[in-house]
Amino acid sequence: SRSYTITLLPGDGIGPEVISVAKSVLSLAASLEQISLQFDEHPVGGAAIDLTGAPLPAETLAAAKRSDAVLLGAIGGYKWDTNEKHLKPETGLLQLRSGLGVFANLRPAVVLPQLVDSSTLKREVAEGVDIMVVRELTGGIYFGSPRGFRKDDKGEDFGFNTEVYSGSEIDRIARIAFEVARKRRGKLCSVDKANVLESSMLWRKRVFAIAAEFPDVELSHMYVDNAAMQLIRDPKQFDTIVTNNIFGDILSDEASMLTGSIGMLPSASVGESGPGLFEPIHGSAPDIAGQDKANPLATVLSAAMLLRYALGEEEAARRIEDAVVATLDMGFRTGDIFSAGTTFVGCKRMGEEVLKSV
């Protein structure tokens, strides 16, 4: 029988609750498919700072690296917000992404028919939206140097960062995006600010060049400000979007909110080789942490992505996704997606209901 090791990183806030549900669902789906899973749990983010003094302990990264895939809950919280940079939970997450080399972040924004009314968009605009944002995750202004603070001779303070991309960094994320688009509806929109930024001019040039390898995919280019508008004006014009780290951060969150149910949205981060990182799109929601209010489905669906993309276990992935749809069809809803006529449940209970359908 197939056997894999999964690193679980619950993290902060609602992280532990949603990971606990996802772990049960993952275990059941795996055992029903004769897959044996080993779980290895480690601290990251604020929890790791409190426990070890570092947001990504060496042991956590080492464990993640030798496992087959990593499932993360969420990181961050008010408690650590004013920490210095090397003691911020976010820094641990960035170190993890970089340490695993997962440069391609896949963020689907899908409006489920059952949840179309959760969107603040008019029904006819939201219905059928199905966008995949491919975000570059280990480069750009998040990691560029020089960065930091300096004073000039007049005593004036400066804070600065460097947005930088190499041609090969762009090529590899572009290839992944073209491949994703090819398996979807064959349309790729590359988003940049090439009318102002040199980093974007190189981006546009290299993406354009890579397009020659994918004659079956239709490529377009859009400025980031226009993309922010078009996502609201007519989100259905988009199939796959590829963009840099910071624009991807902004646009993927914008796209996810179009669905009105970010508590439902998973993500996958993958590299050239080595374990992938799977996490819900939502944050650690410290305001509802520990209250059994969180929606665990984004993490459950991230576990399904893990089975499919990291382990190649399509049947087990399908089991989970079908179970989520069945649970929604039966009317179970956490607070974030609740509407009149549905059954209000907490995080744990939602997990139990999903388990029944796996």
Residues tagged active-site: 142, 193, 225, 249, 253
* Rounded least distance, CB 269 to ligand IPM, Å: 9
Closest of 133, 197, 114 to residue 162, by C-alpha:
197
Chosen residue from 41, 130, 218, 254 binding its own copies by CB under 8 A: 254
Residue 157 interacts with which of ligand IPM, its own copies, none, CB < 5 to 8 Å by class: its own copies
Nearer to ligand IPM, 117 or 225 (CB): 225
Phi, psi of 184 (to 5 degrees): -105, -125
Residue 325 interacts with its own copies (CB under 8 A): yes or no: no
Closest of 13, 45, 53, 64 to residue 274, by C-alpha:
64
Cα(18)–Cα(347) distance, integer angstroms:
7
Cα(317)–Cα(322) distance, integer angstroms:
9
Residue 325 interacts with which of ligand IPM, its own copies, none, CB < 5 to 8 Å by class: none
Cα(185)–Cα(81) distance, integer angstroms:
41
Nearer to ligand IPM, 81 or 213 (CB): 81
How large is the angle between the packed helices 314-329 and 297-305, nearest 10 degrees?
160
> Contact at 8 Å (CB) between 102 and 137?
yes
Among the residue ranges 34-42, 248-256, 313-321, 341-349, the one whose residues contact its own copies (CB under 8 A) = 248-256
- The encoded tokens of residue 209 equal 């060049």
* Rounded least distance, CB 35 to ligand IPM, Å: 28
Q: How many CB atoms lie within 10 A of CB 82?
A: 8
Residue 287 interacts with its own copies (CB under 8 A): yes or no: no
CA dist list (Å): 278 to 155, 294, 322? 45, 18, 19
Closest of 342, 344, 358 to residue 295, by C-alpha:
344
Closest of 327, 328, 300 to residue 316, by C-alpha:
300
> Contact at 8 Å (CB) between 219 and 225?
no
Residue 229 interacts with which of its own copies, ligand IPM, none, CB < 5 to 8 Å by class: its own copies
Question: At 313, is the secondary structure helix, strand, or coil?
Answer: coil
* Rounded least distance, CB 146 to ligand IPM, Å: 20
Nearer to its own copies, 58 or 196 (CB): 196
Residue 94 interacts with its own copies (CB under 8 A): yes or no: yes
Residue 210 interacts with its own copies (CB under 8 A): yes or no: no
Chosen residue from 35, 224, 265, 328 binding its own copies by CB under 8 A: 224
Across-strand partners of 191? Answer: 222, 243
Binding site for ligand IPM (CB under 6 A): 76, 90, 93, 195-196, 225, 249
Q: Looking at this protein, which amino acid is placed at residue 255?
A: A
Among the residue ranges 7-15, 35-43, 231-239, 346-354, the one whose residues contact its own copies (CB under 8 A) = 231-239
- The encoded tokens of residue 317 equal 């992935």
Residue 85 interacts with its own copies (CB under 8 A): yes or no: yes
Which distant-in-sequence residues (6+ apart) come within 8 Å of 213 by Cβ? Answer: 175, 178
Among the residue ranges 13-21, 27-35, 258-266, 326-334, the one whose residues contact its own copies (CB under 8 A) = 258-266
Residue 128 interacts with its own copies (CB under 8 A): yes or no: no
Q: Looking at this protein, which amino acid is placed at residue 321?
A: E
* Rounded least distance, CB 304 to its own copies, Å: 23
Chosen residue from 32, 51, 229, 330 binding its own copies by CB under 8 A: 229
Residue 183 interacts with its own copies (CB under 8 A): yes or no: no
Residues at the interface with its own copies (CB under 8 A): 76, 81, 85, 88, 90, 94, 120-122, 125, 141-142, 144, 147-149, 152, 156-168, 193, 195-203, 224-226, 228-234, 246-247, 249-254, 256-258, 260, 262, 283
